[in-house]
Structure 1
Amino acid sequence: MSGLLARLPLFSGLAPEQLGVLAAGSRLSPQRKGEILFHQGDPVRGFFSVLSGQMQLTVSTADGSEKVVEIVAAGESFGEAVVFEGLRYPVTATALVGTELLAVSGEAVLALLDRDPAFARRMLANMAIRLRRLVRDVESYSLRSGVQRVIGFLLHEADADGPAAAPGARECTVLLPARKHVVASRLNLAPETLSRVLRMLAAEGLVSVAGRRIVLHDVPGLAARLAWQ
């Protein structure tokens, strides 16, 4: 278990004895596609790192529908912040595909935080990154049109793909992290709106769409469109 923990970004660099503290409170948690790990409002029992697969985090709205707030990929974690509260999960976590999780108990994390200021700083930095994402999302939902949200998302995914979207590249390929209806919910759009925007961008020659694979033919043009749309 210590070896698995050491390969995760959040825990890399920890000393063997520190990994041992976490390993004692950790277990593997395989999830089938569509399986719910916990529901919004369930008592907190720890946080989770994704070893392989994908999880979606959703919140229930007043009308009973669900809104995707985050898609968590391999190497990322979720549920860290609520460990400090020790109350209830604010989201529902569902496996988008067959997923292998590493569940880390809140007690083990809190014990290590008490003993290791460097680990505490790493945890705070990880939560700060998540907070910046959420602030960016709120800005997008509040101030951007549907077209801007889609273009911004595609450019962000292209940037996250690294070498596939090298600096100065005019064309690159993006693989959507989930099915289109999940991405639409993530962008606070109706699925048909996402499809309509993609068709419009394709008609303008800016993108080509083949299922989840989208070729961005004019990255600078999309960036300019985002700025003036």
Structure 2
Amino acid sequence: MIKEDILLKFGACKMTYKKGDFLFNEGDFPKFFYQILSGSVKMNNFNDEGKEFIQGIFSTGQTFGEPPLFINKPYPSNAMAISHTTVYTIHKEAFFRLLLTNPEVNLAVSEVLSQRLYYKSIMASELSSQDAEHRIIKLIDYFKEEIGVPSDVKYKVPLTRQQIADLTGLRVETVIRAIKTLEQKGGLKIKDRKIFL
């Protein structure tokens, strides 16, 4: 999202993480802005029984974890690498200087945060619905829109069934059944175990 030369000008450092490494933990206070150079990161929480709930999945070019940075509150979730991942980090104060001196970047960051807030509002409404099929289609539509795939183009869903379950608050067995039902209804296609919408 933010151009590499601008990131480097404000002191960005490259950090590399292995799959399963935590970039930060729930309850930590934010010190850095993060932008993914390669790989992917999930933000998650675990309930008292140890069940994971995925707040979001972010990949190459995307940023994550900004809201607590702006309001100086602890992170409400963990950030974990879900593949070998390299990120740019910028110290909080340098990031704020970057925003103040680059209004176009400031506007772009505001737009990204607004998109995420919109998604959270939509998903909060969907999670109150008992219709698993509807939740799954809404989630896939959001990911498709997020990367700019036209609605008439088949999109290969980059999520596992477990990740879909964790993002929608469903059990993985329910997701598997719902996906089979959606395929039978023509709502999506499955090819080589991959989901296409």
| TM-score of the pair, normalised by structure 2 | 0.85
Which of residues 50, 65, 85 in structure 2 aligns to 1:79?
65
Number of the residue aligned with 1:61? 47
Quick one: structure 1 residues 127 and 206, their matched pair in 2 at CA, closer, same or farther if it must change by over 3 Å? closer
- Write the distance in 1 (CA, Å) between the matches of 2:9 and 2:195: 44
Letter in 2 for 1:56: K
More divergent stretch after superposition (154-163 vs 127-136) = 154-163
Number of the residue aligned with 2:181? 200
- Write the distance in 2 (CA, Å) between the matches of 1:197 and 1:98: 31
Which structure has the bigger radius of gyration? 1
- Write the distance in 2 (CA, Å) between the matches of 1:20 and 1:53: 19
Give percent identity, aligned residues only.
23
Number of the residue aligned with 2:108? 122
Asked if 1:37 corresponds to 2:18, the answer is: no
Quick one: structure 1 residues 61 and 178, their matched pair in 2 at CA, closer, same or farther if it must change by over 3 Å? same
Letter in 1 for 2:160: R
Structure 2: give runs of 5+ residues left out of the alignment: none
1:69 deviates by 0.8
Asked if 1:102 corresponds to 2:83, the answer is: no
Deviations 1:63-84 (A, max 9, x none): 4422101010111101122212
1:142 deviates by 1.9
The secondary structure found in structure 1 opposite 2:28 is coil
Deviations 1:80-135 (A, max 9, x none): 22212233221101111111111121110122334444443333222112211111
- Write the distance in 2 (CA, Å) between the matches of 1:211 and 1:93: 30
The secondary structure found in structure 1 opposite 2:154 is strand
Quick one: structure 1 residues 202 and 83, their matched pair in 2 at CA, closer, same or farther if it must change by over 3 Å? same
More divergent stretch after superposition (133-142 vs 62-71) = 62-71
More divergent stretch after superposition (108-117 vs 53-62) = 108-117
Number of the residue aligned with 2:75? 89
- Write the distance in 2 (CA, Å) between the matches of 1:180 and 1:147: 13
Number of the residue aligned with 2:118? 132
1:212 deviates by 5.2
1:28 deviates by 0.6
Letter in 1 for 2:177: R
Contact 1:176 1:212 (C-alpha < 8 Å) held by counterparts: no
Quick one: structure 1 residues 153 and 20, their matched pair in 2 at CA, closer, same or farther if it must change by over 3 Å? closer
The secondary structure found in structure 1 opposite 2:155 is strand
Quick one: structure 1 residues 202 and 120, their matched pair in 2 at CA, closer, same or farther if it must change by over 3 Å? closer
Quick one: structure 1 residues 151 and 135, their matched pair in 2 at CA, closer, same or farther if it must change by over 3 Å? same
Structure 1: give runs of 5+ residues left out of the alignment: 1-8, 217-229
The secondary structure found in structure 2 opposite 1:130 is helix
Contact 2:33 2:95 (C-alpha < 8 Å) held by counterparts: no
- Write the distance in 2 (CA, Å) between the matches of 1:88 and 1:162: 32
The secondary structure found in structure 1 opposite 2:19 is coil
Greater RCO (Cα-Cα under 8 Å, separation 6 or more): 2
- Write the distance in 1 (CA, Å) between the matches of 2:128 and 2:45: 18
Asked if 1:180 corresponds to 2:166, the answer is: no
Quick one: structure 1 residues 140 and 73, their matched pair in 2 at CA, closer, same or farther if it must change by over 3 Å? same
Letter in 2 for 1:32: K
Deviations 1:7-45 (A, max 9, x none): xx2x24x9x7x65542x2x11111111111111111212
